[in-house]
Structure formats: structure tokens, C-alpha cells
A and B are shown apart, each in its own frame.
Chain A
Amino acid sequence: MPLALEGSQALARAIALCRPQVVAAYPITPQTHIVEGIAKLVADGQLDCEMVSVESEHSAASVALGAAVAGSRAYTASASQGILLMAEVLFDIAGLRVPLVMTCANRALSGPLNIWNDQQDSMAMRDSGWIQLYCATNQEAIDTTVQAFRIAERCELPVMVCVDGFTLTHTLEPLEMPTQEQVDGFLPPYFFRHGLHPDEPRSLGTLVGPEHFSEVRHAHHHALLRAQDEIVQADADWGEVVGRQYGGLLEVRGEPEATLGILTLGSVLGTLEDAMEENPDLPRARFIKLRSFRPFPAQALREACAGLEHLIVLERALSPGYGGIVGPEVQAVLAGQSSPPKIYNVAAGLGGRDMSLELYGRLVDLIASGREPEPFCIIDADPMLLPEEDR
């Protein structure tokens, strides 16, 4: 029997089911309800966990790092400017190969100040060395959170679960919560073999000179690439427990035989799926839901894109001065294929702009005329609101 839960409240419960021993967080919209929910579970005695209220996101990530290294399952969450303030520590966590999980309640970055949903914040952490998993629904966010702890702890890598702010975090809908027994059976007690303990003194995070630094980076990079197997396995194994799976690294949906592909990250997928069904006159599309952005699933993407003539990569962020972030990576991994699809790279829904049902038609229009792909564009920008020279 599903429960009527706000996404954030469901995530708080899901995190509690994973029995974190230390949670450290600083509130920021739209992440706040998640950590408020965890704090309440701790205060009500339903979760045996040290809840550390810190004075900044930098400290939140630092406390989580220290706790995980000291032998506790640790969790934090943030968004937007909070992610940026954590950035120094996030790179440290990953570089030290510390397994912990955080939720990024995706939100635009300042400036100008904007509290609504896009994915510029987690994309800014692309090169931090974290695993990044993007969720299309709140149910996927719940299940991915449980999977994330196992992935993190088996791979000795941190996992960022990316959940669209407001669109998911603030949406109430029917959600299936796993039971404690299901989670306990899936997730063994926390163990970190490089943990610190007074009985066995050692240091972590000391100076590494040029004689070892390249090897550390090589090992980190390859650990991320290898994590693909663990991401797939965690999704499959958890799927056996709860009967829900999300495709592992990515999921092909919509019309599998279509020669038009649309690649998305996050919660816009359901709107596009509905729009396709409501507009039978429009060409049908094969949707590729990219779940794992880091590691970047090169081989899985090549297989998912086989037979496509056109591929639209739809992003919720951009690299100003270049264009897309995900699009060029997709283009690169498909480049060596025989007859790769033409790639159209666009952004939409920045700073919380509503991604309506009409978006599907606008995307399909990109290829309808048989035009060559234009350079990256923000497809839902209103020309009338732009200065004349930018239209």
C-alpha cells in the first residue's frame, strides 16, 4: 500500500532505513525538508544517529568525512550555493576514497539568486570524483538512496544522489517505502577498511608528492570506471528485493525502435513521455534516461543509441562560453561509431522555468525540417526578453 508522502519526507525515511550513524547538514532550500525530516526521526527516537547541526555546508561535509573515516555510516545533503561551499571538502572526500552518500536537491546557482530547480550545482561537481546518479521520480530517489550506500561502501567512493529540487523534493505523491528488513538484508553494517582507530594508528589525507600523486589519480579514475558494474548490480539486486529497477546506468524508454532519441537527466522524463502519448501526430522518440553521469557509461550509451539517426541531448545546466555539458560527452563517446546520430544539444528548464508538455513538440521540431544541428541553445529562452543583439 503506497503512502502519500512529500518527496523529501520519503527520502528522510529512506535514509533512516539505511541506518546512518552520523548525519551532518546545514539547511538550504530545497534540501531543507530532507534534513528536517531526519532530525525529527532522531528527536523522536526512531533513528539512533548522531545528528550534527553545523554552522555551514563546509562543516557539514567535513563532519560527514570525519565520521565516515572514524567508522560511521555518514550522510549529508545540500543544494546550490551549499554544494559550492562544500566543494573543497567534496573533492577531498572523493580523493581520499571515503564512502559516504549525499543528496543534492538540485537547484540553480547564483547569481542572479534563484532558488528553483536546475542541475548546475551537481554539474559543477562533475570533476570532483564522486559517483553521480540522477533520479527521474521520487520512487527512484528512494530506491537509489538505498542502493547508493551499498555502491559507496563496496567501491570506496562517495555517491551523490541528484534529486530535482521542488519538482521532486516538494511533490507529494504515492510512494512505496521499503521495509527495515528489506534494507537490512541488502545493506550490511558499515565497514571502511581504511578507517581510523586508536588501536591501529595511521594517517589519512597526508601529503602525497609527485612520486605517488599520478598513481592515486589513476586509481581513483579507474575505481569510478569500475563502479559501473556495482551500480548495475546494486540496481538489479535491490530490484529483486522490491520489484523495481531503473536500468542501472541508464534506461531506454519510450519507443525503442524510434530513430529519434531524446536523452534526459532527472525528472523531466515523465512530462516528455506524457507529451509524446498525447501528440500522436508527432514523431515518436526513444528516451534515454541517463542515470549515472559519473561514471559516464560510454559503452551502455553506445548500445542505447544504436540505430538512432538523431539524438537530442536535453540538459538542465550549461557551460557558459562552450555550450552543453553532457552533450559534448555523448558526442565524444559516439564519435567512433559507424553512422553515429546527429546530435542536437539544448538546455531547458533553467532556474525552475516550467517544462511544459509543449516542450516535446519544440524538441521534435529541431529535427523535423532536416536541418543540420545548430550550436547549443537554451531552447525555452524567450527572444522577446533578450537584448536585441542576443536574439
Chain B
Amino acid sequence: MLEIRIHGRGGQGNVVAAYLLASAAIDGGSYAQAFPAFGAERRGAPVAAFVRIDDQPIRRRCQVREPDFLIVQDPALMDVPETLSGLRARGTILVDGTALEIDGSGDNEIMTIPATRLAMEHIGRPVPNTALLAAFITLTQLMPVSALIDALAERFKGPILEKNQRLVEAAAATVEAGRWQEVAHAVSA
């Protein structure tokens, strides 16, 4: 079972990101589960959401304490102790921002992409979640990027969907495809 924790701030589409990722996995024939952390859901407050993906039904409903992957929507959250808490030794971190903003001194690999900037360019809103998911899926090869576009198509239509589609393609192009494939494979095996 693969466990992912998404950190962000209230209003950044944290839960939507978790739902999109799980939806894309389910539509691809996997079992998956996504749910928010039980914390205060206020705009700006640090929040988290969880995703589990497996090849068999998922029974547990506890929070993800030892994630395999972290997706962090705000580089400032890297300084909040809860963000890195429990990350597995071989786990990796995908952060919105630039490498300059992050203290990369830990053992876990940290990858940054300019998700908010890409979102501003393509959809005109500072919402990093879709770009981060596109990069995450490309890095891990958990599913084809088209699965994310299909999941987006369940929520958006017309010009907004097209803009999101271009955002997904642009974000996917910023990372090395399959770089985290081995980690993802090792976890699920």
C-alpha cells in the first residue's frame, strides 16, 4: 500500500488534490482512499489530506502517520514540524516553490516545481494543486497523466478544463518522468 500525505493551507485545494489523485487511481482500476485530516479547516491554516492506493480493498481508516510521499503546497510549511513527521526513510517530497526556498539538508529527496507560477500562467489563479499532482504522477508513473485529466474532466468543463489540461502538460514537463518510479514500485510491492 502506498500512502501519500498532502500538506497545504486552507483554501489551496488540499482535499480536492487528494480526491483527484484517488479518483484517478480508482478510475484506473486500483483501490484508493482519500480523506482530509481532522483539523481546523480555515483559510490560511496548515491543513493536510491523505491518500492511500493499493491493489486490494483498503479497510483501515486511520490517518496516514508514516507516508511514503509528501506533497507540500506551500514551501513555508516545510518549517512546520508536522509536515515532515513520520516520512519513511526512502520517502520523497514534492514542494511548490524553488530549491532556494527549501532547506534540503535531510535524507529524503526533495523536488521543487513552480506550481503556483504555472497555475497563474495557465489558469490565472494561485492554486498549486493540479500542477503538483501532474508532476507527482509523472515522477512516480503511478498512472498515465491522462488519468489526471480524466479526473479533472469530472469536475471541470469547457475552457476551464482546457486550461487545466495545458497546466497538467506544462507541469509534467518540468520533472524527470519515472524518477520516483522505483520508490513507488518498492512501496506497492
Give chain A's interface residue range (CB within 8 Å of chain B): 20 to 34
Residues of A within 8 A of B59 (CB): 269-271, 273-274
Residues of B within 8 A of A354 (CB): 38, 62-63
Stretch at the interface among B6-14, B26-34, B174-182: B26-34
Measured CB to CB, the nearest residue on chain B to A164 is B61
Min CB distance B33 to A, Å, is 5
Residues of B within 8 A of A194 (CB): none
Interface 0/1 of A318-356, CB less than 8 Å to B: 000000000000000000000000000000000010111
In the assembled complex, the Cα of A267 lies from the Cα of B59 at a distance in Å of 9
In the assembled complex, the Cα of A352 lies from the Cα of B27 at a distance in Å of 30
A147 contacts partner chain B, Cβ-Cβ < 8 Å: no
In the assembled complex, the Cα of A111 lies from the Cα of B33 at a distance in Å of 31
Residues of B within 8 A of A378 (CB): none
Interface 0/1 of B11-41, CB less than 8 Å to A: 0000100110011001100011111101000
In the assembled complex, the Cα of A255 lies from the Cα of B38 at a distance in Å of 31
* Complex contact A172–B60 (CB within 8 A): no
Give the most central of B32, B36, B58, B61: most A CB within 10 Å.
B61
In the assembled complex, the Cα of A352 lies from the Cα of B38 at a distance in Å of 7
B157 contacts partner chain A, Cβ-Cβ < 8 Å: no
A167 contacts partner chain B, Cβ-Cβ < 8 Å: yes
* Complex contact B34–A172 (CB within 8 A): yes
* Complex contact A267–B61 (CB within 8 A): yes
Tell me which of A2, A166, A267 contacts B26 (CB under 8 A).
Answer: A2
Tell me which of A2, A172, A352 contacts B33 (CB under 8 A).
Answer: A172
Residues of B within 8 A of A267 (CB): 61
B88 contacts partner chain A, Cβ-Cβ < 8 Å: no
B125 contacts partner chain A, Cβ-Cβ < 8 Å: no
In the assembled complex, the Cα of A168 lies from the Cα of B33 at a distance in Å of 11
B90 contacts partner chain A, Cβ-Cβ < 8 Å: no
In the assembled complex, the Cα of A6 lies from the Cα of B155 at a distance in Å of 13
In the assembled complex, the Cα of A185 lies from the Cα of B32 at a distance in Å of 31
In the assembled complex, the Cα of A117 lies from the Cα of B23 at a distance in Å of 24
B185 contacts partner chain A, Cβ-Cβ < 8 Å: no
* Complex contact B61–A167 (CB within 8 A): yes
| With A166-B38, A170-B36: A4-B27 Cβ-Cβ less than 8 Å | yes
Tell me which of B36, B60, B62 contacts A166 (CB under 8 A).
Answer: B36
* Complex contact A173–B62 (CB within 8 A): no
A125 contacts partner chain B, Cβ-Cβ < 8 Å: no
A234 contacts partner chain B, Cβ-Cβ < 8 Å: no
In the assembled complex, the Cα of A168 lies from the Cα of B61 at a distance in Å of 9
* Complex contact A167–B31 (CB within 8 A): no
Interface 0/1 of A110-137, CB less than 8 Å to B: 0000001100000000000000000000
* Complex contact A172–B23 (CB within 8 A): yes
* Complex contact A171–B61 (CB within 8 A): yes
* Complex contact B31–A174 (CB within 8 A): yes
A357 contacts partner chain B, Cβ-Cβ < 8 Å: yes
In the A-B complex, the 5 residue pairs with the closest CB atoms: A270-B59, A4-B23, A4-B26, A171-B35, A352-B38
- 16 other A-B residue contacts (CB within 8 Å) besides A267-B61, A356-B65: A3-B26, A4-B151, A166-B35, A170-B36, A171-B61, A172-B18, A172-B19, A172-B32, A172-B34, A173-B32, A173-B58, A268-B61, A269-B59, A271-B59, A271-B62, A357-B60
List the interface of chain B (C-beta within 8 A of A).
15, 18-19, 22-23, 26-27, 31-36, 38, 58-63, 65, 151
Please, could you name 8 A-B residue pairs with CB atoms under 8 Å apart, sorted by A? A4-B27, A4-B151, A166-B38, A172-B18, A267-B61, A270-B61, A271-B61, A354-B62
